[in-house]
């Protein structure tokens, strides 16, 4: 088992230069894949191992609607194939994450703060405050994932696209890819060592919280991990 601390940190230069990209129409799941969803996949595919943290290989009671995590890239890919879908490309994920706000840094716009009634993400344990003196309720304190759909969707109706868990994408990762990527339906490099990971997770600081914002919460931030990585902050959703 490898935790999210072993996701390789990256320099922000890998999301430059800006490109105008044309994509064919696609669908992206409204929610991240949940424990309940993944449980059905396990029942239908004998021999597939459950996430290591499930007690006796079963979903913990009351956590059926939480996004599944501790699933590596290969397992996420297998689930999507079983469901008749696939992992999104990095370009598809970013297009969807922007929710129609193509020139903004965050899924909710360009403001570097949000309030407790419009939360898209959770703050890490100990952060505790937003831009007011109001204390964040304990169940929003960011000590674990939350049931999917707990927070406001983006402009395309996608929930938790920034926050809850970070998400695997299909592409191999290359820090220089944006410099030579095709402008029509880019699918990432043909080979590589790491796979792409996008979106902030529950462990990333919210904008304007104690400790400051995390770059992981912007829609253009690129990250990556070993495809064998199983992390408590990384899940996925499927595309079609």
> Any idea what the CATH number is for the domain that residue 32 is in?
3.90.1580.10
Q: Which pTM value belongs to this model?
A: 0.78
pLDDT, residue 60, reads 93
For the chain, percent of residues with pLDDT exceeding 90: 48
For the chain, percent of residues with pLDDT exceeding 70: 68
Rama region for 38: left / alpha / beta (φ>0; ψ in -120 to 50; rest): alpha
Sign of CA dihedral 100, 104, 106, 112: negative
100 CB burial (10 A radius; 0-12, 13-18, 19+): exposed
Q: How far is 227 from 240, CA to CA, in rounded Å?
A: 21
Average pLDDT over residues 51-76: 95
pLDDT, residue 226, reads 97
Nearest to residue 36, comparing CAs of 56, 23, 54? 54
For residue 34, give Cα distances in angstroms to 8, 59, 151, 191, 225. Answer: 25, 10, 15, 29, 21
Question: Where does the pLDDT of residue 124 fall: very low under 50, low under 70, confident under 90, or very high at 90 and above?
Answer: very low
Question: Where does the pLDDT of residue 143 fall: very low under 50, low under 70, confident under 90, or very high at 90 and above?
Answer: low
Average pLDDT over residues 94-119: 58
Question: Where does the pLDDT of residue 128 fall: very low under 50, low under 70, confident under 90, or very high at 90 and above?
Answer: very low
Task: List the domain range (segments joined by +) for residue 67.
Answer: 1-240
- Domains identified in the chain, total number: 1
Give me the helices (H) in 21-115, please. Answer: 35-44, 73-82, 90-98
Those residues whose C-beta lies under 8 Å from the C-beta of residue 122, and which sit 6 or more positions away, are 140, 141, 142, 146, 163, 164, 202, 206
Contact 37, 64 (CB under 8 A): no
pLDDT one-digit tens code per residue, 2-32: 223 344 444 444 444 466 788 999 999 999 9
pLDDT, residue 215, reads 58
Cα 163 off chain centre by: 7
pLDDT one-digit tens code per residue, 65-105: 999 999 999 999 999 999 999 999 999 999 998 887 555 55
pLDDT, residue 179, reads 85
Whether the predicted pLDDT of 49 surpasses 60:
yes
pLDDT one-digit tens code per residue, 155-182: 899 998 887 899 999 999 998 888 888 8
């Amino acid at each position: 088992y490898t935790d999210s601390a072993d996701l390789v940190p990256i320099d922000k230069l890998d999301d430059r230069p800006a490109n105008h990209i044309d994509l064919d129409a696609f669908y992206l799941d409204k929610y991240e894949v949940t424990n309940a969803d993944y449980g059905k996949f396990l029942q239908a595919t004998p021999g597939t191992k459950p996430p290591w943290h499930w007690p006796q290989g079963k979903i913990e009671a009351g956590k059926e609607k939480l996004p599944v995590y501790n699933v590596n890239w290969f397992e996420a890919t297998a689930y999507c194939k079983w469901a008749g879908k696939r992992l999104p490309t990095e370009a598809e994920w970013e297009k969807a994450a922007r929710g129609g706000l193509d020139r903004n840094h965050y899924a909710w716009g360009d403001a570097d703060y949000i309030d407790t009634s419009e939360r898209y993400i959770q703050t890490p344990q100990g952060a505790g405050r937003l831009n007011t003196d109001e204390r964040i309720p304990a169940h929003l304190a960011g000590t674990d994932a939350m049931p999917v759909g707990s927070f406001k969707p983006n402009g395309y109706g996608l929930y938790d696209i920034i926050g809850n868990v970070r998400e695997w994408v299909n592409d191999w990762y290359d820090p220089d890819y944006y410099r030579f990527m095709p402008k029509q339906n880019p699918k990432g490099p043909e080979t590589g060592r790491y796979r792409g990971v996008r979106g902030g997770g529950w462990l990333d600081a919210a904008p304007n919280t104690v400790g400051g914002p995390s770059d992981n919460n912007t829609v253009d931030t690129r990250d990556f991990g070993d495809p064998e990585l199983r992390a408590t902050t990384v899940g996925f959703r499927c595309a079609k």
